[in-house]
Amino acid sequence: MTAPISEREQKILSLINATFAPTACLLEDESAQHAGHAGAASGGGHYRLRLVSSRFDGCNRVARHRLVYDCLDDMMRSEIHALAINALAPSEVTGQEYS
């Protein structure tokens, strides 16, 4: 059974979907793993994002991360403390890693 997603996660996914029209997207809240550290006190969440989108065709890793950070810019200032990103173009996906 999958846990319901938070309002913050819904907002992240909405922005990602509107910007990237991903063929696959997985967002994991890792905030509980960081409880007690300095960044946790700010209230910002810790997330891992795995994303496949044709918007990443021809982009290097830095450019892909910039696109994601630009998409989530307002949230990065207050609602997201840390974001681990794995952004791929569809041609780079192999096997079942994103299904």
Per domain, the residue ranges of the chain are 7-90
Over the stretch 37-94, which tens digit does the pLDDT of each residue have?
Answer: 555 555 678 999 999 999 999 999 999 999 999 999 999 998 999 999 999 999 999 8
The reported pLDDT for the residue numbered 70 is: 98
Over the stretch 22-52, which tens digit does the pLDDT of each residue have?
Answer: 999 999 999 867 555 555 555 678 999 999 9
**pTM (predicted TM-score):** 0.84
CATH superfamily of domain region 7-90:
BolA-like (3.30.300.90)
99 three-class SS: coil
Q: How far apart are alpha carbons 68 and 71 in whole angstroms?
A: 5
